[in-house]
Chain A
Amino acid sequence: MQAKVIVVTSGKGGVGKTTTTANVGAALAKLGEKVVVIDTDIGLRNLDVVMGLEGRVVFDLIDVFEGRCKLRQALIRDKRIDNLFLLAASQVRDKSALDESKMQITAKQLIEEEGFDRVIVDSPAGIESGFQTAASAAQGALVVVNPEASSVRDADRIIGLLEAREIYEIYIIINRLRPEMVQRGDMLEVNDVLEILGKELIGIIPEDEAILISTNVGNIASLGKAGKAGEAFQHVARRMRGEAVPYMALQASGGFLAGLRKLFGGGS
């Protein structure tokens, strides 16, 4: 992806935006990029706790917007990787404190003055001001989709709104895929989702208990010894950097190749 400022979005809530932001951001940092992840879900802050950095928040994004601190003071350095930073959301304000022009200025400063290679913006759910502000500085987008009815429909709406903002570098991450349900014909296949949405794929993340367990203790799956989902997030980061990483086989029964073909659908 050419984009330096990338919004992670979905329309629907609870599909894995924050988990994706943390894991992709951390994986990019592990590959050597200087990365900042920004939580724009004002009033419902969660990226800090998902990353295990909740005890370190002093200043937040709204403090920066309203001039109560310098940008650098609000950047929280990750405890595991020193080129990964968090800019937390305010927990005491609401989304009316967001401002598109301030978001754009902040993103510009992060890249031009603070030297970040990548700014990953975790968008709130919905299509209103919170999402619009999160997208306002972005040149690219990762749209997180679960292979089920409401998530796919909402993703289509979000893609339309991103394109209306002239954001065209849009990639799909299919999250929480359950290979055994796909094989039974009870879950949309990867190619079904891509055909409906008309956008390109950049990641397939299988449903994985290890994600919940990592988050419980404030670890980021893509930084550790991975597990399937953590590994899949690492692959997303490598693809974002232009590497052609093959999609991993997610189905054990019926042979790896057959399983992979089945997930994509048809004989591809």
Chain B
Amino acid sequence: MFKLTMFNRSKSKDVLKERLKVVISYDRAKISPGQMESLKAELRQVIMRFFPGTEQDIDVSIEHFEERNVRVVASVTTS
């Protein structure tokens, strides 16, 4: 992911931009990455109670959003 080879080098500013979006999302939500992991684990358990067998299809993330807002998104894909 952080490969910086002479050829096909990923731009360092793009790496920084993504890192900043993540860290600022946590800053704005006033939640630490550790607390976020706990939230994810608990959310997964709740979701799995209602959607058994979806463990692989649950995604919980924190997103940098418009108007200086942050949103926490939990998504479940069921077939």
**Residues of chain A having any CB pair with chain B under 8 Å:** 148-149, 152-153, 156-157, 159-160, 163, 182, 185-189, 192, 196-199
22 contacting pairs across A/B (C-beta < 8 A) = A149-B16, A149-B19, A152-B24, A153-B23, A156-B24, A156-B27, A156-B28, A157-B27, A160-B68, A185-B13, A187-B13, A188-B13, A188-B16, A188-B17, A189-B13, A192-B13, A192-B17, A196-B20, A196-B24, A196-B64, A197-B68, A198-B66
Min CB distance A156 to B, Å, is 5
Give 1 or 0 for each of B2-17: 1 = CB within 8 Å of chain A CB.
Answer: 0000000001111011
- Asked if A152 and B20 sit within 8 Å, CB to CB, the answer is yes
Q: Provide the main secondary structure of the chain A interface.
A: helix
- Asked if B24 and A186 sit within 8 Å, CB to CB, the answer is no
**Residues of chain B having any CB pair with chain A under 8 Å:** 11-14, 16-17, 19-21, 23-24, 27-28, 64, 66-68
Min CB distance B50 to A, Å, is 35
Q: Which A residues touch B21, using CB under 8 A?
A: 196
Given that A153-B24, A156-B27, A156-B28 are contacting pairs, would A196 and B12 also be in contact in the complex, using a CB cutoff of 8 Å?
A: no
Q: Which A residues touch B13, using CB under 8 A?
A: 182, 185-189, 192
Question: In the complex, given contacts A149-B19, A152-B20, A196-B17, what are 6 additional A-B residue pairs having Cβ atoms less than 8 angstroms apart?
Answer: A149-B20, A156-B27, A186-B13, A188-B16, A197-B68, A198-B67
- Asked if A160 and B28 sit within 8 Å, CB to CB, the answer is yes
Q: Which B residues touch A163, using CB under 8 A?
A: 68
Min CB distance B47 to A, Å, is 30
In the assembled complex, the Cα of A198 lies from the Cα of B19 at a distance in Å of 16
Residue of B at shortest CB range from A157? B27
Q: Which A residues touch B20, using CB under 8 A?
A: 149, 152-153, 196
Q: Which A residues touch B17, using CB under 8 A?
A: 188, 192, 196
Min CB distance B38 to A, Å, is 23
Given that A153-B24, A156-B27 are contacting pairs, would A185 and B12 also be in contact in the complex, using a CB cutoff of 8 Å?
A: yes
Residue of B at shortest CB range from A156? B24
